[in-house]
Amino acid sequence: MDDISLGVPKPVLERLPDDDETAAADMQEAVAGWEQRLNRAVEDADDEREAASRVLEAIDRFEQRYETYDELVPELRAWGQSPIYAIAWRTLYADVIAQLHDHDDLKEHLDRERNARLVEDGIRLQDL
């Protein structure tokens, strides 16, 4: 399986305030760390299914963080605070998830693994 390559989208960085260099650096450092950990997890996996399972676990965590930041945006607005950082992180998590789903070697395996988890959880189409 090819290495996973992730990046911070330029539009996310462009939306950050110009006077704050640390937020962009924090995002780039976070994405580099995620990329490194994901590649290590894929490398350590015994087979492609296990690799997809590990990446899917990371995607689940990213989705939870996305939801956390998404819920934070209206709360910040209600308190009269700028939600720009929450929006930027929310967008970053959504983009990283999309990057992982677009990865050539992972795409098919992620879909299979998610479907396998649905079946393992007892959710079947016939039960709907």
Classify residue 113: in a domain, yes or no.
yes
Max CA-CA distance within the chain? 55
Q: How confident is the model at residue 123 (pLDDT cuts 50, 70, 90)?
A: low
Task: Tell me the pLDDT tens digit for each residue of 71-107.
Answer: 999 999 999 999 999 999 999 999 999 999 888 777 7
Beta carbons within 8 Å of 17's beta carbon, 6+ residues apart: 23, 84
Classify residue 36: in a domain, yes or no.
yes
Task: Tell me the pLDDT tens digit for each residue of 10-67.
Answer: 999 999 998 888 999 999 999 999 999 999 999 998 888 888 889 999 999 999 999 9
Q: Return d(Cα 94, Cα 65) in angstroms, integer.
A: 9
The secondary structure of residue 39, as a DSSP letter, is H
Classify residue 1: in a domain, yes or no.
no
Classify residue 3: in a domain, yes or no.
no
Classify residue 87: in a domain, yes or no.
yes
Classify residue 23: in a domain, yes or no.
yes
Is it the case that residue 3 has pLDDT exceeding 70?
yes
Q: How many domains does the chain have?
A: 1
- Domain of residue 14, residue span: 10-127
Q: Is the dihedral of CA 84, 85, 90, 94 positive or negative?
A: positive
Classify residue 60: in a domain, yes or no.
yes
Q: Looking at residue 58, what is its pLDDT? A: 94
Classify residue 2: in a domain, yes or no.
no
- Burial label for 72, CB within 10 Å (0-12, 13-18, 19+), is middle
